[in-house]
Chain A
Amino acid sequence: MDIKKILLVCLLMPLLQSFGQDVETQKKFTFPQSVSIQDFVTNTENLSEFKSYYHSINLYYDLYLDNENKDLYKMGYSLRFRKRIMNDSIETYVFQLKDEMGLEKEIRMEVEENELDFYRVKDEDEWTPLPAVLDVIFNLYSDLSSKPDSILFSHNVELIEKWIKTKANGSIAPFQRLRYIDSLTFDPNKVKSFRPVLIGSSFRKRGHIYVDSSYTAQEKLPFNRKNKTETPMFFKLNTNYNWLFESSIDNATFIYLKNNKSVNIIEYEVENKFIDAQKGHDLLKKYENIMVNRLGLHIKYDSKYKQSIQSLQ
């Protein structure tokens, strides 16, 4: 009996150790000039077995960090502060590290410090909440009458740099991951050299992609049940719909802080949310084929950060 239990524990141990990976499985597409966003929305609402329900428009502000040598860009990473404004009301802040996708790499690393409200940075003798500093930067950016190189803008960018320097060897999840990836390359001095390099905003039209109960039964799919807080209202109200993916149509503009040049990026992104990873992957592949072959979209892999730097430097 005891031996049986010990064996079971040994078998379970690797599972217990696998929690450390933070990843997302997603697909990205660009629109050919012949496809308008409005037509695309209409077409995807009822696309064979896959249905889309577009539920909200969010506004995102992003502030990307790197150093003079663009080490993060060269090594295939992007590091950003993001402010999300959901349906003109709820505001959240997050600090994210991501890597690049590729032809052979569909899974993307995503490490987040997803609660910034209790971090503060010292401005003269006062502790100022980090989100307040980000707000000043993003408000000045979105206010077309002010130039990003204003004194107030520069001062708050400096506060961000100060926070990075203070926290370079602290317990901030993206910094912890960078140290783990390569503690020599990303030593505290390297992390301390990161500063804001790119700022931008995106309008994001978000949607749920789902199949109905008859397709679920036909394909013998499990129902994607998540807890109450993770289940979108749409699926709480429509219990016969099986939630597969989340989609977003992004219309983003970025300014390179070094030369004030700007770039516009429009893309469609689909992220796997299905309970069964393998079946979710297969369904995503099927959806990708429809996007490419029926709607004429092009697959792409580069992050917005990579696209912007390639276009603006």
Chain B
Amino acid sequence: MKRILFLLLFSVIIKINFSQETSYPFLLEEQIHFLIGNYIEDSCVSLCHLRKTTDLLTNRDITHVNGVPLAKRRKAFIRHVKHLSEKLEEIALDKTMVNDSTLNLISELEYLKSSIIAKSNNNLTPFPTIKEKKEMAINSLKSKKWMRYPILPISNINPNETAYWKPINEDKHRSFNALSKLKGINSGKEMAVIFKKLNYSGSAPKIRTYDLNLDDEWSLKWGDEVHTDVAASRIFAAIGYDIDHPYCYKNGKLMLIFDGSRSINNWEQLRDSISAIYDTDLEPFFLEEGTVNQKMATENNELSGYVGNNYVKFIKCGLEARPDRVKRLGTFLPDQLYNHKRLELRGALLLHAFIGNWDTRKENTLLTTVHDGNYNYDVSAVFSDLGASFGVSYSILFADFKVGLVNEFPWEVAFKKKNKVFLKNPINEFPISYSSVDYNDLRWMAKQISHLDSLTLRKCVSKAKWPYPIEELFFNKLASRRASIISSFDIIDPNPIEYNRKITIEENGKIIVKKGELIVDYKIEENPESFISKKGRKRNYGY
């Protein structure tokens, strides 16, 4: 009882000192009571409690937590935890009174622990269960009913810079590349990667590959997300969120080399393995196969070690960076540690709606440690796998879905009726951060979206490398959806973007887009996944 009274009194004192003006990457006012209860004794950091957490995160001989096998803790992660805990150990040994800066360090440690535990639990069931699939379907069906927001008196609160969001004040179209540079990602117009191993997770076919420098990895993907993921990630980056780094490669600009020392050593073996794992035929994505020769090695010296090895090129594929500097933990915990109180997380619901993202499961979020190249690490929250967007068709019967269907991407996403704002974007999961959203959370994001100008939107869409008519249609639709959001929240548009809802595009005398609708299955041999067919992954994209 005494202890509880002390905790209450102490947390009140700390709360007085907690300044909303000061920006902390992790600490929220609401966490203080929990952190004090778990890590503080006599106003100081408790070594005993601290070490319990640190040991769990760094001791490679601890292999299970609550009976669940612990997820892999990489060297860089362990190093960062030790840096963090050593700072706290000195504070503990000095018997320094705890303050909010100390609590922020403890909070970061708690985030790392919870994320690793979440990943460990997720590893047990890497594929959605029947129950989860059913919930996704129910959420999708009920989204329309749930996503209506009574208009409130306007509040102009802005979030501080945190691990979850950083304000981008200028050159929004450069923010994706700025993040790439920070993470040491080097993507070229043409790329060669080395086969590493098959992947067994996710619903879209993918494999793990090495960069030619053998330090960095790339995830190589095929299917309907190779354009959508690129555009979606760039839009999220332009708003200030951290993201994955996907790129689209077409017409054989990517060469996959088999180095002869792995289980898969040629195109046929790859195709058969992908077929066995994902039930997907890669044949329509195949462009050519061959052997790396001396001429290729002369043109690109980095290929010299692979002369004589088999390679394959594709009509189109996606390549997502897995740089050595970035270590991926578990989810960024949208439902834990009071994260639903974060305006920057609640507001993200409207950004998902803007790009038409359907797959809002917490599994598609990440905490990452980013090495700054000088033995320091920043922990950053990442919106991952944003590709289930830009026109999604889902089938409850087949538990299947298809993305990037331009005609399924409505011209409007928000509208105001009576005293409510309505969002038209079904999503498959409502973490508390999204189910507890109110008008002002969305209005904050609407203001962020209003700052996306024509150049930024165009750059995001063009990097996705959609064929010209599809790109034009998506650009016009995004501009229209943006306008619907801005007007619904009564915001004066600082950068009006022109769009044409009746756009018609002709190629060689043939109408491709008529009055804002794609009317032909555009160049199916170059786009095997199709921009019209609703047959998804389970049905082999309809081919």
Contacts and interface: CB of A to CB of B under 8 A. Distances in A.
Residue of A4, A170, A223, A231 ringed by the most chain B CB atoms within 10 A = A170
Interface stretch (B37-45, B85-93, B480-488): B85-93
Interface in A196-252: 222-223, 225-229, 231, 239
B61 A180 contact: yes
Given A171-B51, A171-B54, A180-B61, A226 B375 contact: no
Nearest to B211: A227
A5 B93 contact: no
A13 B83 CA distance: 30
A115 B85 contact: no
Interface residues of B, number: 36
Nearest to B215: A227
B127 A5 contact: yes
A222 B265 CA distance: 13
A225 B262 CA distance: 12
B180 interface: no
Interface in A256-278: 275-276
B341 to A, nearest CB: 31
B527 interface: no
A16 B126 CA distance: 14
Contact of A17 (B63, B200, B304): B63
Nearest to A117: B375
B58 A12 contact: no
Interface residues of A, number: 40
Contacts of A173: 58, 60
B261 interface: yes
Given A13-B69, A115-B375, A127-B90, A5 B60 contact: no
Interface string B254-280: 000001110000000000000011010
B79 interface: yes
A176 B90 contact: no
A171 B85 contact: yes
B61 A176 contact: yes
B90 A2 contact: no
Interface in A146-176: 166, 169-171, 173, 176
A275 B259 CA distance: 13
A225 B306 CA distance: 11
B213 A227 contact: yes
Interface in A263-307: 275-276
Contacts of B260: 222
A211 B54 CA distance: 44
Nearest to B56: A171
B69 A16 contact: yes
A234 B326 CA distance: 28
A6 B201 CA distance: 10
Interface in B65-96: 69, 72, 79, 81-83, 85-86, 89-90, 93
A8 B126 CA distance: 11
A13 B120 CA distance: 12
A122 B94 CA distance: 9
Contact of A225 (B79, B90, B259, B304): B259
A56 B418 CA distance: 79
Nearest to A166: B93
Interface in B144-164: none
Contacts of B123: 16
A169 B51 contact: yes
Contact of B214 (A19, A166, A227): A227
A103 interface: no
B55 interface: yes
B79 A115 contact: yes
A17 B69 contact: yes
Interface in A117-160: 118-120, 122, 127
Nearest to A13: B69
Nearest to B276: A4
A20 interface: yes
B86 A119 contact: yes
A97 to B, nearest CB: 12
Contacts of B72: 16, 19
B61 A228 contact: no
Contacts of B58: 171, 173, 176
A23 interface: no
A127 to B, nearest CB: 6
Nearest to B305: A239
B38 to A, nearest CB: 17
B59 interface: yes
A227 B216 CA distance: 8
A9 B198 CA distance: 12
Contact of B82 (A2, A5, A118): A118
A170 B214 CA distance: 35
Contact of A176 (B55, B81, B126): B55
Contacts of B375: 115
A90 interface: no
B304 to A, nearest CB: 6
A120 B91 CA distance: 12
Interface string A21-59: 010000000000000000000000000000000000000
Contacts of A75: none
Contact of A8 (B69, B79, B93, B200): B200
Interface of A: 1-2, 4-6, 8-9, 12-13, 16-17, 19-20, 22, 115, 118-120, 122, 127, 166, 169-171, 173, 176-177, 179-180, 222-223, 225-229, 231, 239, 275-276
Interface of B: 51, 54-55, 58-61, 63, 69, 72, 79, 81-83, 85-86, 89-90, 93, 123, 126-127, 200, 213-215, 259-261, 276-277, 279, 304-305, 324, 375
25 contacts: A4-B276, A4-B277, A5-B126, A5-B277, A9-B126, A13-B69, A16-B69, A20-B60, A20-B61, A119-B86, A120-B86, A120-B90, A122-B93, A170-B54, A177-B61, A179-B61, A222-B260, A223-B261, A223-B305, A225-B261, A226-B214, A227-B213, A227-B214, A227-B215, A276-B261
Closest 5 CB pairs of A and B: A180-B61, A227-B214, A222-B261, A227-B215, A20-B60
